[in-house]
Chains A and B, each alone.
Chain A
Amino acid sequence: RKEVEQDPGPFNVPEGATVAFNCTYSNSASQSFFWYRQDCRKEPKLLMSVYSSGNEDGRFTAQLNRASQYISLLIRDSKLSDSATYLCAVKGDSNYQLIWGAGTKLIIKP
């Protein structure tokens, strides 16, 4: 089993819809979790950090489910510009090292 797993997609979603996807992790001792966004042929950029209480930033909500060991990302009122690959990253045992999922591809259609 991979340490961090994501559904690769693609998720094809109409503009204006709500979409959610998950990221599961295997290390129950993990403390910090992140969502990065990567546009086609571009570098990843931090979208949100996810802590115990979860967090919300505009149309984006990230939550942590420790019991089932996954984090989720919810996008409301999706825009064409939300089309991207969403990578989750989990802080491993090392204070420096993040463990990455392979990403979920999201395509928003007009």
Chain B
Amino acid sequence: DVKVTQSSRYLVKRTGEKVFLECVQDMDHENMFWYRQDPGLGLRLIYFSYDVKMKEKGDIPEGYSVSREKKERFSLILESASTNQTSMYLCASSFRGAAANEKLFFGSGTQLSVL
């Protein structure tokens, strides 16, 4: 069974802390994505990566960075957490290819609260 695993289901952090969200996939997917989901706004893309050590900014990269040192792992870093980064964070992966990469497999999400 395909799997995208996010390291934490719930996380509470303080303003100014550095936060690491980890995502691991076991499907040998080339593409990996980080989204945040907020009520009424839908999923918004933060960063994505289409290969090891490659990264591209999405729609809302400010305040975030990413790391992809291995194909199976994609990390999201909040350099200095702020209250407006309280959100559900979803990691996703997909195969490369015009048709195949359209099916995203999501992790179960990390609900981050920044106090």
Does any Cβ of B come within 8 Å of A72's Cβ?
A: no
Point out the residues of chain B lying under 8 angstroms from A49, CB to CB: 102-103
User: When each residue 45-82 of chain A gets 1 if its CB lies under 8 Å from chain B and 0 otherwise, what string results?
Assistant: 11001000000000000000000000000000000000
* Interfacial residues of chain B within 28-47, with CB under 8 A of chain A in the complex: 31, 33, 40-45
Chain B residues within 8 Å of A32, by CB: 102
Evaluate contact between B42 and A34: CB separation under 8 angstroms.
Answer: no
Could you tell me if B41 and A97 are in contact, using CB atoms closer than 8 angstroms? no
What residues on A are CB-neighbors of B98 within 8 Å?
Answer: 95
Judge if B48 is at the interface, Cβ distance under 8 Å. yes
- Smallest CB-CB separation from B31: which chain A residue? A96
Of A87, A89, A97, A103, the residue contacting B48 (CB under 8 A) is A97
For residue B50, CB closer than 8 A to chain A, the reply is yes
Task: Give the CA-CA distance A87 to B104 in the complex, in Å.
Answer: 13
**Smallest Cβ distance from A77 to chain B, in angstroms?**
26
B56 at the binding interface (Cβ < 8 Å): yes
Interface residue total, chain B, C-beta cutoff 8 A: 22
Interface size class of A (residues with CB under 8 A): 20 to 34
In Å, the complex CA distance between A34 and B106 comes to: 15
Decide yes or no: A44 and B101 within 8 Å by CB, A96-B48, A97-B58, A102-B40 being known contacts: no
Judge whether B108 is part of the interface by a CB distance below 8 angstroms: yes
- Asked whether A102 and B41 contact (CB < 8 A) given A96-B31, A96-B50, A96-B56, the answer is yes
- Complex partner residue of B101 from A8, A42, A96, A102, CB under 8 angstroms: A96
Whole-angstrom distance between the Cβ of A46 and the nearest chain B Cβ: 5
Given A43-B90, A43-B109; A97-B102 close (CB under 8 Å): no
Q: Given A43-B90, A43-B107, A43-B108, do A100 and B102 touch, yes or no (CB 8 Å)? A: no
Q: List 13 A-B contacts (CB under 8 A).
A: A34-B102, A43-B108, A43-B109, A46-B104, A96-B31, A96-B50, A97-B48, A98-B102, A98-B104, A100-B44, A102-B40, A102-B41, A103-B42
Residues of B participating in the A interface, judged by any CB pair closer than 8 Å: 31, 33, 40-45, 48, 50, 56, 58, 90, 98, 101-104, 106-109
Going nearest first, the 4 A-B pairs with the smallest beta carbon separation are A43-B106, A102-B42, A100-B43, A100-B42
